[in-house]
Amino acid sequence: MNNRIKITFWLLFAMFALLIIHIGYFTFFEADEVINNPYNLRLSASEGSVKRGNIEDINGVVLAESIQEDNGFVRSYNYPRMYCHVIGYTGVGKTGVEAAYNARLLDLHNETLQKFLYILTNKVFKQGKFSLADMGIYQSNVYAADIFDFEPPLSDDDVLSGGGVDADVTTESLTETDIYENSEIDNEIKDIYNNPENMQGADLDSIANDGYESENNFFAPLKDGYVLTGNTVVLCIDNRIQQKAFELLGERKGSVIVSEVDTGKIKAMVSYPNYNPETIAENWEYLTNDNENTPLLNRAAQGLYPPGSVFKIGMAQLIIDTGNRDMTYNCQGVNKFGNKTLRCYNETVHGSEGLTDAFKNSCNGYFAKAGIELTNDRLITEALNLGYNKDYDFPLEHSVSVFNLTEESDNSELADTSIGQGKTMTTPLHINMITSSVANGGTMYVPQIAEGIKSPSGRMIRKFKPEEMGVVMSKETAAIIKGLMREVVTSGTAQGANSDIIAIAGKTGTAENGTDNDHIWFTGFAPYDEPKYAVTVMLEYGGRSSKTVNIAKDLLEYIAGLE
């Protein structure tokens, strides 16, 4: 019986071991993500005491920072409108990176040390007295004053400037006070004290005034009481590219995305109309009720549009994969499929053509025929494989592209869907992801917005890894489509993007939307030989697709010039 008792309790104790492992695993690996939840009230509570961390671009340009004011911290954005959809806002709720990395921005690196310094400088020693300037000049007095909790009488200057918080004012005013006259400081120190620039203390003082900028001085942040500072979130975005994209898009409704093809890192993401996150609280009513312009919407990741001809990238893949590369079609400009009439752009007659010509001329008839002949179940599989109707782990607010073909759909719907019309709706970000997977040989990556986390002192403490969504096409197919997309630029619909500086490949798109002005697309990558960047430009009601082609060309040329 004893053995059975032992067996039983070894099993029960193994359950407790499991419990301990589970709690440990949760604390080390899951807690960070779990606590970053709007329902966790602790985060908003710590917002009052912790200085929210900075947000920087990949080169260290500060995009957002918190500034301490009398009644707490105020969030300040250095490029408010340029980044409003990426970084988002904080205050009236949170969006964008501010929401997705809320816990990281409030997380304290070296929490024990930071809290210890904070308590020591703010709670134990009273604020303003435990200052480096004081320590440098008359050390013993500072300690004495602290120990006996002694407040030096305030001079007029002090009262006017609101107490001895500012180190410069303290130094000035204390000259006139009685304490130091009466205390037994020798003349030498008195001299130095009256001419602070003569001695070391003055240097210390100025260093201390620099505050966070002077990283060499460990005690600098202690001057006016240590401030608990959250971690910095480093974005993948390159500020220069973002700036250029912002300028190129100008005041046209639409969005521009630049990403790295073999990691999925977002290098730029701009959307217009935009808003100013600094004044969002004042303009809240207006911004939320502007249904025509919807400035709060990040069109790049949340906007759902018919993809139009850019969907033909996926169709080309389907045609190649099913071995129908040699298919030909005789385009009449206006083509009839049953009771459905499809017009090519400007009703151009393309004549008899193969895949290459059809792709570069963006012939609707060819792809509609291909779509009908390949039947809908293959189309559905293809779309799902490319990431339609499937959510992905992108930390910012985003929509999921919709593909709505069913087994019962008729030929006219099939034809519509094959040329990117019908009920298919796509986000520009998703088109960008598809372009990247063509460019990198078939792997689709989850778009990545944050490069890593930096401690307040500027050391990278965590790097995020690119995350694969899976292989969406074979290397061979990707290489063929790459060639097709290059043809589009050299001799097809996107000849405007034929640049001397950088070899661009891409695909244009015009998507009917029920108005006279079509939505226009361009998605492409460059350089053609060794693709690095994928660019997707989308303009709402833009008219002619050459506008998007020009933006993409200028942007890619600018990027080429950076390197």
Partner 1 sequence: MTELLIFISKYVFIILMFIFCLQSKYLVSKGRNTNKRADEGAYAVRLQRMTIVLFHVLAYATLNFNSEIPVEDYMVTAAGGLVLVVFAPVLIGLVYNRINGLAINCMYFLMDISLVILQRLDPALALRQMVFFFMGTAVILIIYPILRYFKKFYELKYFYLIVGFALLLVTIIFGTNVRGATNWIRIGQFSFQPAEIVKILFVFYFASVFCRNTDFRDRVIQMALGFAFVALLVLQRDLGSALIFFMTFIIILFVSTGSLFFTFSGIGLAGLGAVMAYFMFSHIRVRISAWIDPWSDISNKGYQISQSLFAIGSGGIWGSGLGKGYASTIPIVETDFIFSAICEEFGVLFAIFMIFVYMTLFYCGVRSALNTRSRFKAILASGLTGLLCFQTFIIIGGVTKLIPLTGVTLPFVSYGGTSVVICTVIVGLLLWIYVPKTEDSHIKHGPDDVREPVRRKKRVRENINIPDEAPLRRRVRRHDDE
Binding site for partner 1 (CB under 8 A): 1-2, 4-6, 8-9, 12-13, 15-16, 18-20, 22-24, 26-27, 30-32, 34-35, 37, 39-42, 45, 111-112, 115-116, 119-120, 123-124
Token pair of 550 as six digits: 């020009």
Shortest separation between residue 24's beta carbon and partner 1, angstroms: 7
Q: Are 521 and 510 in contact (CB under 8 A)?
A: yes
Contact residues for 462 (Cβ-Cβ < 8 A; gap 6+): 452, 453
Closer residue to partner 1 in complex, CB, 106/319: 106
266 in helix, strand or coil?
strand
Q: If residue 45 lies in a helix (H) or strand (E), which one and from where to where?
A: helix 41-46
Contact residues for 547 (Cβ-Cβ < 8 A; gap 6+): 252, 520, 539
Shortest separation between residue 147's beta carbon and partner 1, angstroms: 13
Contact residues for 111 (Cβ-Cβ < 8 A; gap 6+): none
Shortest separation between residue 398's beta carbon and partner 1, angstroms: 18
Shortest separation between residue 409's beta carbon and partner 1, angstroms: 31
Closer residue to partner 1 in complex, CB, 5/147: 5
Closer residue to partner 1 in complex, CB, 16/218: 16
Q: If residue 137 lies in a helix (H) or strand (E), which one and from where to where?
A: helix 132-137
Contact residues for 220 (Cβ-Cβ < 8 A; gap 6+): 132, 207, 208, 210, 211, 212, 214
Shortest separation between residue 119's beta carbon and partner 1, angstroms: 4
Handedness of CA 387, 392, 395, 399 (dihedral sign): positive
Maximum distance among all Cα pairs of the chain, rounded to whole angstroms: 106
Shortest separation between residue 335's beta carbon and partner 1, angstroms: 47
Closer residue to partner 1 in complex, CB, 6/459: 6
Q: At what angle do helices 364-373 and 312-321 cross, to 10 degrees?
A: 50
Shortest separation between residue 117's beta carbon and partner 1, angstroms: 11
Closer residue to partner 1 in complex, CB, 108/204: 108
Q: Tell me how far apart the alpha carbons of residues 254 and 93 are, in angstroms, rounded to a whole number.
A: 25
User: 461, exposed or middle or buried, with CB in 10 Å at 0-12, 13-18, 19+?
Assistant: middle
Closer residue to partner 1 in complex, CB, 120/189: 120
Shortest separation between residue 64's beta carbon and partner 1, angstroms: 24
Shortest separation between residue 32's beta carbon and partner 1, angstroms: 8
Closer residue to partner 1 in complex, CB, 17/67: 17
Closer residue to partner 1 in complex, CB, 32/172: 32
Token pair of 159 as six digits: 């009262």
Q: What is the DSSP string of 328-348?
A: -EEE-SEEEETTEEEE-GGG-
Closer residue to partner 1 in complex, CB, 396/419: 396
Handedness of CA 204, 208, 210, 215 (dihedral sign): positive
Q: Are 43 and 102 in contact (CB under 8 A)?
A: yes
Closer residue to partner 1 in complex, CB, 37/198: 37
Shortest separation between residue 11's beta carbon and partner 1, angstroms: 9
